[in-house]
Structure 1
Amino acid sequence: MKLMQILLSQSEAGAETYFEKVAYAFTKDESIQQRLIIEAQPTRENRLQSAGVDFRTLPMDRFGKLFLYNHFLKRYVSDFDPDLIVTWVNRASRKCPKSRAVVVGRLGGYYDINNYRKCDHLIVNAPDLVRHVVDNGWSQDDVSMISNFGELPEPLNVIEPIPSIPEGHRILLTLGRLHPKKAQDVLIKALPKIPDTTLLIAGEGELQEELQALAQSLGVSDRVYFLGLRKDVRKLFDLADVCVFPSRFEPLGNVVLEAWATKTPLVAAASQGPAWLIEHEKNGLLFEIDNVGQCAEQVNRALSDHDLVKGMIEQGSLEFEKSFSMNVIISQYRQLFDQLINKKMERRT
């Protein structure tokens, strides 16, 4: 199978990070010849090269983007002549050139379905996204729900320094854009009620100054470290005593899967995705969205109740291995791709 994956984005958000993980995973399948098309971006290129992924880049300088971008996009697709193309995020799905390939759009959020008119099939990663797509006019037969996997491939990691942690402190980790949806403010507000802990916040965004001011006003600024965008997530999970995921709005929640994969105790707000994934007190702890007191209470339980934590780690690991490991998810992708390619070939004969 000749597989092409297209990502036309400069962002380093969750969808783009998962795109890199899936691309790496497919390099392990010797029966698949894979090639990516990405926009020129040195940090992403370095990670993909380190992971042994074949890719082509589109120019992002002013002249190249204006006059050569679309030309190279069409040429790269034509030269590779793929059997199947996966388009990631809206722009790639909207700009995908015509070819003989089956075109599969991958959605990880409640995106505008008008961007996916060129797609033959859609993949979503959570049950409610199936509803979203079908409600917007797609046939149930043309939509597949394949969730994400939780592994953090080592070749995609870029090791960066870790701040000094006060002796005797336990480490809380939260990951995500510094955005109102991610609700880092809830966790910072809870921190005065969670003694002897240091909070590591991995992510960047427009709320950093506001969140820093909040930590200062609550007298916990010396216990909160803003790490910025990080690509050594496995190292951060290995350091963490508890992973906290306070998002107000989350269709799925890669952080949940990554916590299970790394056997890290997990506390999360009961937003859409985490509430689907987590069974309270079995494979994680849930608290009401925006409830600062409950957040503090559940984090303190995760720090102190060793028997509870041991059971949650065991159950989370079992759930991960059964349903959200790289082998399981990539096998589902591969099975779907084979079906779609065979179906298209049958129509031609």
Structure 2
Amino acid sequence: MRILQALFFPPEQPGGVSSMVPFMLDRFNRRGWETELFSLPKRVRGKGTEEVRFSTFDWEAYAGNPVVDKYIQTIKDYIWWTRMRIKTTYDIIHAHHPIACLVMKRLFPDTPVLMTVHSSYERELMLNGKIRKDGPEYAFLTSIYRELEEQADQLITVSNSFKHYLSDFVQEPERIGVIPNGFDEKRFRPVHHENQVPQLISVCRLVPAKGLDTLLYACAELKRKGHPFVLHLIGDGPIRPELEALAQELGIYDDTIFYGYMLHPEDFMPFFDVFVLPSRAEAFGSVFAEAALCGLAIVGTDVGGIAEQIEHGVNGLLVPVDDVHALAAALEKVTSDSMYRYQLSRVALDKALNTYSMSRVVKQLRSVYRTYRKES
């Protein structure tokens, strides 16, 4: 069986799809399932010129809006690049981005195309203050889900909570499959260590949706109560200057290290103590599973896929979104009691190994792929 894994941009960013698909591809190839990776290079801009039409709605009703126009142009670019680069056929195409799915089904209508919806672009834009829920961008982006339902042979998503979110925008939500993300266990090696001062770490893109302002306020409250810590922030993004200024204003800049972008944070994550990320929304939250596989205690918000990964008080701690005091209390609890922190981390590691292994994902996907394999 020949399978194409179709991404959006190349898998060069840490976390999520980028950290999963290449390892998944390797597992398939080692088992004799010929699998290839395809994506749109970031240098390809403004190349496509083919007309774009959808079968379930008229996108031109939203034309003239920068977000919509950029999305449509990217579809055109993906069509141009795909026509130029793909000269063979596949038994199955598995798309990991809406644009990849729509283009692949358009160009290869007789090939089964599966689509995994990993995240919600419109929610990310709303939480980052870029669009409004009552605006044309939101209407356009949520209409894409219905088009995906119409075009893809199978829709899959990464958590039950995100399946519930999608149900408002499709006709048959019961047909959406759920396969949580998986991770190559060999990439993660917990390391026994003793830190005199608790080391907190967060790994994400520095955007409002990740709630890092809440984290900085919570850490300031932690410091006022006399609890020492060092906060390590790995990632880059548009609000980094604002976060650095806030850390200075709160008096915790000397306790906080901004690293910027890092390709493989999992290489030294095991030497920290607590992973914390107070996201305002997450379809799955891959980085929590990765932190658990590194042997860290995990603290997150009670939203989306995070709440499906963390059982409060058992393998981590959950707090409400934007609740500074609750987050500070959770951090105080895990930083001041090393035995409790260790207990949480051990249970989190066991659950991650059993639930989010790459072997489990490959097994589930092989079963789905067999369903759509063409009869020879």
Structure 2: unaligned runs, 5 residues or longer: 50-72, 122-141, 189-194
Contact preservation (8 Å) 2:162, 2:305: no
State how far apart, in whole Å, the 2-side matches of 1:106 and 1:89 are.
Answer: 7
Residue 283 (structure 1) aligns with: 315
Take 1:72 and 1:26, find their aligned partners in 2: how far apart are those partners? 21
Shift of 1:69: 5.8
Q: Which of 325, 349, 362 is the equivalent residue of 1:330?
A: 362
Bigger CA drift: 244-253 or 119-128? 244-253
Q: Describe the SS at the equivalent of 1:129.
A: helix
**Is 1:6 aligned with 2:6?**
yes
2:172 to 134, 139, 149: 139
Residue 111 of structure 2 is aligned with which of 101, 108, 122? 101
Provide Cα deviations, 1:157-196, integer angstroms capped at 9, x if missing partner.
xxxxxxxxxx953321011121221100111111221432
Q: Which residue identity lines up with residue 183 of structure 1 in the other structure?
A: G
SS in 1 for 2:39: strand
The code of the aligned residue for 1:3 comes to: I
Question: How far apart are the structure 2 equivalents of 1:310 and 1:68?
Answer: 49
Unaligned runs of 5+ in 1: 42-58, 156-166
Kindly indicate whether structure 1 or structure 2 has the higher relative contact order, using CA contacts under 8 Å at least 6 residues apart: 2
Q: What secondary structure sits across from 1:247 in the alignment?
A: coil
Deviations 1:99-152 (A, max 9, x none): 432101110124630452431111100102223334323435642100012447
1:225 aligns to what SS in structure 2? strand
> Residues 172-183 of structure 1 correspond to what in structure 2 (within 5 A)?
172-183=200-211
Distance 1:140 1:296, change over 3 A: closer
Partner of residue 65, structure 2: none
User: Within the alignment, does 1:32 sit opposite 2:1 as a pair?
Assistant: no
1:271 aligned to 2:280?
no
Provide the C-alpha distance between the structure 2 equivalents of 1:62 and 1:129, rounded to a whole number of angstroms.
Answer: 32
Amino acid at match of 2:94: V
Whether the aligned pair in 1 keeps the contact of 2:25 and 2:37 (CA below 8 Å) is: no
Query: Which deviations, in whole Å up to 9, do the C-alpha atoms of 1:244-298 show, x marking residues without a partner?
Result: 1211212221122112211111111222222222111110012222121221221
Tell me the TM-score normalised to structure 1 length: 0.80
CA contact (8 A) 1:120 1:142 kept: no
Aligned residues: 314
TM-score normalised by L of structure 2: 0.75
The 1:203–1:27 alpha-carbon spacing in structure 2 relative to 1, beyond 3 Å, is same
Whether 2:44 is the aligned partner of 1:60: answer yes
User: Partner of 1:25: helix, strand, or coil?
Assistant: helix
Q: Equivalent pairs: percent with the same residue?
A: 23
Structure-2 separation of matches of 1:32 and 1:76: 21
Q: Which aligned pairs between 1:38-117 and structure 2 lie closer than 5 A?
A: 38-40=39-41, 60=44, 70-79=79-88, 81-96=89-104, 97-110=107-120, 112=142, 113-116=145-148, 117=150
CA contact (8 A) 1:26 1:32 kept: no
330-339 or 20-29: which moved more?
Answer: 20-29
Q: Where is the strand percentage greater, Structure 1 or Structure 2?
A: 1
Q: Deviations over 1:31-83 (max 9, x none)?
A: 21111111225xxxxxxxxxxxxxxxxx626669999863440354441x111
RMSD: 2.8
Amino acid at match of 1:233: P
Q: What residue is the counterpart of 1:227 in the other structure?
A: 259
Report SS of the residue matched to 1:244: strand
